[in-house]
Structure 1
Amino acid sequence: MFRVCRYHCRHPLPILNISEHLTRLRLQTKSSLPFVLGALLGTQNGREVDIVNSFELTVTEDEQVDHDFLNSRKDQYKQVFPSLEFIGWYTVASAPTARHIALHEQYVKDVVAGAAQKDHATLRSLSALIASLPASENKHFRGEFDTEYEDVQLTAYLSTLTKSASILNDLVDKHVVMSSSNREERAPSMASRRRGTQPRGLPGFSGHGGWD
């Protein structure tokens, strides 16, 4: 698995090593597709990677990578080829198997525990691998999945309704405040106009005109 989107492999040695590794395990295990796992060594410059060499990896009985063996081989290669770095690991399979998935789970657990350095490109590759797995057609699984999906949809619908009701309530409150302010502004002006208006009598008579 490569950690970058673009790579250049100009060296035939790792290809020969992987081919020899696969052929030898086929003869030893009498299997057409044995479990093959190894490390890739090379150099990386930005998003360009050169795969220069490789070596086999061993797996313990509990399906864990033998880190002592890995570190020992890395140190040996580092002494002879100081410029080479551990680029990634390789495997040969037509489709992901349970053993491959176990290795991915081990890496994720180590990242969560802080024992391994987080590599976002690798995590994206794992996410894509999980998304490509076939969906189960088990009736019980489908029933639980549909129920959970409907619950999520209902929760999202209720959340949207609550948000809409809150927005509508804010609009109503603003309308009430604006209406109250307009009524308060009109009331004093109408009162002043009433006070400024005096009753007018008929021509030749006073306001409280008498007949005398």
Structure 2
Amino acid sequence: PLRVEMAAILDTSFDFRAKTDKPAAAAPKEAVAEATVAGSLSYVLHPLVVINISDHHTRVCAQNQASERVFGVLLGEQSGRRVEIANSFEIKVSVNAAGVYEPVKAYLGTRLEQYKKTFPNYELIGWYSTASEVQLGDLAFHEHMCEMNESLLYLVLDPVQALVPGNRELPILLHESEIHVVDEKPTMCFAKVGYKIDSIESERIAVDHVAHILPSGDSNSGSAVTQHLGTQYTAISVLSERVDIIQKYLQAVSSGQIQGDHDLLRQIKSLCSQLPALDTSKFNQEYLCDCNNTLLVTHMATITKGTGMINDIIDKYNTAYDKHSRRRGIF
């Protein structure tokens, strides 16, 4: 299965602008600009998008037993000059008579409406595919996508480069469409733009967990959260098993099935005595006292806050009244 370099994804301060200056080899000149465009917008890519694309490619390859291109849509939002690519979903495509991929617009429109209800702030900001570089039919596909929304981005993920041993770069190129004059005619082409990786806390936990999953589906070490929860689960399970053993032993002694060991019974009695007694009058009295003290502190804080607000109102009233009295005395 496809596994991209997770160390680069976890580094939220990593900037890929310096790595996008490599021209798209063997791509047609009318399709991709040779130089990287700085652009006036700042693009931010979330790890969830990379995981979705990788999972989409892996599932298709596993089902068809062959490597095939996959297509999908990029969702996000723009705030000023900052464009965040936050989510994605796969789409259905068809092949026309010329052998060029085209999106199934009916399916795309339905999925966009569904996502709009769940994520009202997200909008269509681009599309993605898996390939080593921009293909010949990608411009035609991009034009079809632009009918849904203008000025879309095009993200290309290279699954072959992701499997190269020792590869430390994220095999992703981000493009925006521009109009260039070719043979004295305005022609649309792709221009590579820089992007940054950014993530929220939930994404960092998910990526950390995925990074430790082996191809077999097992985890060799697991994420920090998984290890912490696993330790707690193991401790509680062991405690529950030992309590069951003590309970069964006491039941057997009580029923006369086995002879009781007085030394062991004294240890069990000592262990039970160390447990907090929650049904005694002393505990109820101490608990009620602590509860009343907590409520008293809360009430005192509320009274203090209300007193401060009243003092502010009085000060404002006195200030306004003094000014009014002075004006009336002057006139």
Output the TM-score relative to the length of structure 2: 0.32
Identify the structure with bigger relative contact order (alpha carbons < 8 Å, sequence gap 6+).
Answer: 2
| Higher-helix-fraction structure | 1
Q: What is the TM-score normalised by the length of structure 1? A: 0.48
* Structure with the higher strand share, 1 or 2: 2
